[in-house]
Amino acid sequence: MRHVRPLTLLGAALVTVLGATAPTAAEAAPQVPRTERVSTAADGAQLDGPSGDAALSGDGRRVAFVTRAPGLGCAPFLPCLKVKDLTTGDLTGIDIGGGHLYSAPLLSADGDRVAFTAGTRFTAPYVYDTTTGTAQRLWPENPPGSNELGAVRSLSPDGTHVAYTIGNRHGTQGSRLLYVRDTAAGTDELISPPEEGWKGGASVNGDGTRVAYQTGGYSEGPEDTADVFLKARGTAERTRLDAGLGTAELVRISADGRRVLFNAQGGLYVHDARTGTTRRVAEGRARSATASARHVVLSRADGLHLLDLRTGRSTAAGPPDARAGVGAVAAGGRAVTFGSAAPDLVPDDTNGEADVFVRHLR
């Protein structure tokens, strides 16, 4: 850490001569962290059903979440997908047709695009444009084998590339194929074929040129086999990142494609694609990370923590029962969203339901 010397008398005099003024007490005081309940009606009223599965836009302005609140027009077994603007309080519903189940929302950095999984009998990946109010179903043309269901895995920060999986109902075939959709060109590229096993996760970088993905399941049990790979689109080569670390779980690839974060052996690892080196950087299981890969949401016994990998500073971000998804943290680590049934996070929480919250840290 670089240490800065205190101002000498001469330095202080120079500051005065140059016209600089000392900050006021209000300017110097750091912002006090606060928790906001997001799963409310547009007028702020608490909901009459459970909510969860939340994601935050990179700019921290919008939150997408799934709810079963009848007061918002949702049926007990047909969850709705809502997007709330934290600045205005406006609540927008995404509806692609009656009878659909919604899950796994992800937001672009500006919140204008929402990727999600939805379906009636079988699910499929979608991307929704909030500026036009239109949804696009993501599916490749003539994929190999039998495929009837799919799921969203990752959305690039600018919303132009979506990683998604498709497969069928047989055994572990539900995510047998991994694709990346270029939404501007309308093209799909096969990233991982069925021969590589089922895909437990995927993450696409900012310009869509690199994809990190996980094969197999992860629970750190001896019977599990899960590995993390990095692949440049348009090539046949892939690099395994977790060699010698046992089973691993992908967290994300950075927007610049230079770093890949993954969990293994009870801790968080960072792979540097430029040097080919991998190092352990934190204890605990990472749930989400910013596009820069600098700020990480860790799940520990006492709750969620936001860790700054550059400074090592850790900040409490959620209670022990908090559930954070892959899109849970805003750029700069300014806020974290999570689901929780804790009734004491905000005043007047009396609905007795799990809700979605945002912890503002900056």
Q: Does residue 217 belong to any structural domain of this protein?
A: yes
pLDDT at 297 over 50: yes
The region, left, alpha or beta by phi > 0 then psi within -120 to 50, assigned to residue 195 is alpha
Q: Per DSSP, what are the bridge partners of residue 183?
A: none
Distance CA 231, CA 204 (A): 10
pLDDT at 244 over 50: yes
Percent of the chain with pLDDT over 70: 90
Q: Does residue 125 belong to any structural domain of this protein?
A: yes
Which DSSP helix (H) or strand (E) runs through 26? helix 25-28
| Per-residue pLDDT, 16 | 32
Phi, psi for residue 201 in degrees, rounded to 5 = 175, 160
Residue pLDDT, tens place only, 263-280: 999 999 999 999 999 999
Q: How many domains does the chain have?
A: 1
| Per-residue pLDDT, 11 | 35
pTM given for the model: 0.89
Give the CATH number, domain containing residue 145: 2.130.10.10
| Per-residue pLDDT, 92 | 94
On average, the pLDDT of the chain sits at 90
Q: Does residue 39 belong to any structural domain of this protein?
A: no
Confidence of residue 97 (pLDDT cuts 50, 70, 90): confident
Q: Does residue 318 belong to any structural domain of this protein?
A: yes
Q: Which domain holds residue 312?
A: 46-360
Q: Does residue 106 belong to any structural domain of this protein?
A: yes
Distance CA 220, CA 265 (A): 7
Confidence of residue 24 (pLDDT cuts 50, 70, 90): very low
In 86-196 the beta strands, taken as DSSP E runs, fall at 91-94, 101-107, 113-119, 123-129, 134-137, 149-155, 161-167, 177-182, 187-192
Q: Which of 339, 338, 357, 337 is nearest to 347 (CA)?
A: 357
Q: Does residue 20 belong to any structural domain of this protein?
A: no
Distance CA 79, CA 99 (A): 9
- Kindly write down the DSSP assignment for every residue of 138-165, as one continuous string: ---SS-SS---EEEEEEE-TTSSEEEEE
Rounded to 5°, the CA angle 137-143-148 comes to 60
- Give the lowest-confidence range in 205-219, 289-303, 319-333: 205-219
Residue pLDDT, tens place only, 131-174: 999 999 999 999 999 999 999 999 999 999 999 999 999 988 89
Distance CA 172, CA 206 (A): 30
Confidence of residue 225 (pLDDT cuts 50, 70, 90): confident
Q: Does residue 181 belong to any structural domain of this protein?
A: yes
- Give the lowest-confidence range in 15-24, 129-138, 218-227, 324-333: 15-24
For residues 233-243, give the mean pLDDT: 93
Q: Does residue 13 belong to any structural domain of this protein?
A: no
Confidence of residue 77 (pLDDT cuts 50, 70, 90): confident
In this structure, how many other beta carbons lie within 10 angstroms of the beta carbon of residue 6? 6
For residues 25-39, give the mean pLDDT: 71
- For residue 293, give the DSSP letter: S
